């Protein structure tokens, strides 16, 4: 059922005067009042149209709501299946004739059904409203559609420039960026590479491609990122590298991680796939370690469709990554001469064209993401069970996907996701912990309780840049509808709580 507050905004006593009725209508913003007698029995409904017509014909507000209401309103028993209730809204031309139906139990109003039009808020979608099309057009017009051309050069140059003038090597996607970095650093069979348990599988897969052994360690409960303590516990003589993942736009504790790297002489490959623009101590992620790897998949901070990037301060490492990216071919004058097995991991000029256009708008994109995140924070502040991703004083978080934990004893993330899916709002669960998956669990030397906890309680709200303020408000309304029920459910003693069937009836769309 809707929360009691919502219901009470719609219900009024049959004796109130029209002016009071107008005041209530103005507050509930639904355009309708459910009129009840002193015993709370349904006696009618009144719309703002009913009141307007009554006023025009009588020229007076000295009337009771019962004088102007519709005394034969459409209503339904609160136990009627929702499909039957929907039929009663008499949808015509895609619009419902009646959008609110009182639900009664033994004649008394206990709830209402509200028809909500079909709505869909995807979890993430890019906005391509800058020079994307213009640059793509140039690729086609000039015939430079493969992996050579000005956009590859420009995109790499600009990307490196904003990252402390690093050298940048573009790739086909973020996964191969990680693989390329590891291979260029000489990681291979008999080496160990430490990865966090809570991350996308691409992180660990890239290690496995090299033949090295991944070592899965736990995250910190507050940052959701790899725990420096856990890293240090699992360093062995074979450990060669660490892949800190800046998860959901949060920078890892790079002070501690770089100290460990120096102490044990380990390589650092930063997985920045979700964190372009995030900072630790005012320094961009990706510029701490030996290589920083980025992804430009469709749902990432900026996109090239598919795409990735490696950045590094080390000139010779960059040269090596460029060689390996291009079949390992030597560039010493001899044509088609290879002295090692490389890959074809090149980005196309078309991808880079889109990437360059996206990069030109990076500030706007980041601002919009921050605004979306803030709008969620403002709208959902009253729900204490929702815990937003934490902000640290010395870290600048970027908003990849708006991320929350939910701490509610009655309901879990999966029921939140399924209830909101019915209302057209796409939520995403967090990543499944690597150490809990059959194919990876042998690489976890110890349990990862923090990963498990965060994974179980975490989820992402829709963060599509295309969402308008109106869309966001529609999303918030739907989220609140679900959360009010949950709050109500936890507050009301079981014997007084409404039958659970009502919960289902109020969330059909």
Residues that bind ligand PLP (CB under 6 A): 173-175, 199-200, 202-203, 245, 271, 273-274, 295, 297, 308
Instruction: Classify burial at 491, counting beta carbons within 10 Å of its beta carbon; exposed 0-12, middle 13-18, buried 19 or more.
Output: exposed
Closest approach of Cβ 280 to ligand PLP, in Å? 17
Specify the residue, 31 or 298, whose C-beta has the smaller distance to ligand PLP.
298
Specify the residue, 160 or 174, whose C-beta has the smaller distance to ligand PLP.
174
Closest approach of Cβ 275 to ligand PLP, in Å? 9
Closest approach of Cβ 25 to ligand PLP, in Å? 48
Specify the residue, 253 or 274, whose C-beta has the smaller distance to ligand PLP.
274
How far CA 334 is from CA of 208, 324, 337, 342, 345, in Å, comes to 33, 16, 6, 16, 21
Q: How many CA atoms lie within 13 A of 19 on its CB side?
A: 4
Closest approach of Cβ 171 to ligand PLP, in Å? 9
Closest approach of Cβ 124 to ligand PLP, in Å? 11
Non-local (6+) Cβ contacts of 85 within 8 A are: 76, 101, 103, 113, 505, 508
Q: Are the C-beta atoms of residues 136 and 122 closer than 8 Å to each other?
A: no
Closest approach of Cβ 10 to ligand PLP, in Å? 44
Q: Are the C-beta atoms of residues 228 and 251 closer than 8 Å to each other?
A: no
Specify the residue, 69 or 193, whose C-beta has the smaller distance to ligand PLP.
193
CA torsion through residues 405, 409, 410, 414, sign: positive
Closest approach of Cβ 183 to ligand PLP, in Å? 16
Q: Are the C-beta atoms of residues 182 and 380 closer than 8 Å to each other?
A: no
Specify the residue, 73 or 249, whose C-beta has the smaller distance to ligand PLP.
249
Ranked by CB distance to ligand PLP, the top (closest) residue is 174
Q: How many residues does the chain have?
A: 509
How far CA 208 is from CA of 187, 205, 243, 270, 380, in Å, comes to 10, 5, 13, 17, 41
Closest approach of Cβ 430 to ligand PLP, in Å? 11
Reduce the DSSP state of residue 109 to 3 states and report it.
strand
Specify the residue, 68 or 202, whose C-beta has the smaller distance to ligand PLP.
202
H/E stretch holding 155:
helix 150-162
H/E stretch holding 467:
none
The label of the residue with tokens 């934990």 reads 405
Separation of alpha carbons 30 and 49, rounded Å:
12
Specify the residue, 292 or 424, whose C-beta has the smaller distance to ligand PLP.
292
Specify the residue, 205 or 415, whose C-beta has the smaller distance to ligand PLP.
205
């Amino acid at each position: 059922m809707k929360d009691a507050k919502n219901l009470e905004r719609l219900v009024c006593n049959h004796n109130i005067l029209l002016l009071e009725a107008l005041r209530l209508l103005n507050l509930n913003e639904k355009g309708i009042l459910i009129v009840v007698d002193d015993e709370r029995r349904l006696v009618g409904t009144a719309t703002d149209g009913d009141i307007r017509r009554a006023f025009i014909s009588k020229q007076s507000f000295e009337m009771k709501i019962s004088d102007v209401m519709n005394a034969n309103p459409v209503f339904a028993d609160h136990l009627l299946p929702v499909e039957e209730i929907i039929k009663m809204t008499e949808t015509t031309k895609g619009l419902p004739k009646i959008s609110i139906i009182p639900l009664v139990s033994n004649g008394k109003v206990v709830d209402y059904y509200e028809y909500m039009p079909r709505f869909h808020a995807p979890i993430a979608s890019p906005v391509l409203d800058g020079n994307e099309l213009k640059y793509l057009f140039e690729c086609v017009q000039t015939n430079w559609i493969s992996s050579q051309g000005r956009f590859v050069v420009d995109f790499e140059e600009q990307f490196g420039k904003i990252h402390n003038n690093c050298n940048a090597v573009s790739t086909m996607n973020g996964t191969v960026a990680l693989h390329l970095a590891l291979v260029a650093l000489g990681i291979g069979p008999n080496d160990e590479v430490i990865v966090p348990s809570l991350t996308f599988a691409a992180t660990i897969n890239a290690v496995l491609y090299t033949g090295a052994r991944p070592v899965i360690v736990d995250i910190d409960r507050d940052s959701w990122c790899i725990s420096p303590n856990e890293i240090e516990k699992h360093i062995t003589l074979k450990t060669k590298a660490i892949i800190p993942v800046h998860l959901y736009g949060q920078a890892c504790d790079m002070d501690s991680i770089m100290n460990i790297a120096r102490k044990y002489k380990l390589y650092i490959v930063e997985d920045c796939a979700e964190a372009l623009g995030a900072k630790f101590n005012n320094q961009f992620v990706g510029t701490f370690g030996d290589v920083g790897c980025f992804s430009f998949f469709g749902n990432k901070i900026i996109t090239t469709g598919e795409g990735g990037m490696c950045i590094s301060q080390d000139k010779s490492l960059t040269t090596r990554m460029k060689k390996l990216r291009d079949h390992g071919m030597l560039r010493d004058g001899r044509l088609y001469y290879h002295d090692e097995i490389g890959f074809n991991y090149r980005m196309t000029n078309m991808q880079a064209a889109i990437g360059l256009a996206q990069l030109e708008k990076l500030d706007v994109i980041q601002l919009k993401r921050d605004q979306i995140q803030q709008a969620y924070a403002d709208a959902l502040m009253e729900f204490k069970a929702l815990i937003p991703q934490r902000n640290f004083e010395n870290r600048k978080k970027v908003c990849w996907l708006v991320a929350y934990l939910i701490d509610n004893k009655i309901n879990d993330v999966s029921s939140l996701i399924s209830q909101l899916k019915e209302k057209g709002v796409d939520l995403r669960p967090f990543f499944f912990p690597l150490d809990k998956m059959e194919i990876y669990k042998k690489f976890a030397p110890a349990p990862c309780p923090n990963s498990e906890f965060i994974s179980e309680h975490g989820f992402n709200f829709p963060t599509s840049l295309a969402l308008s303020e109106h869309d966001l408000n529609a999303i918030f309304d739907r989220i609140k509808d679900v959360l009010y029920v949950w709050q109500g459910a936890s507050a009301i003693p079981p014997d007084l709580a409404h039958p659970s069937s009502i919960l289902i009836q109020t969330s059909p769309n």
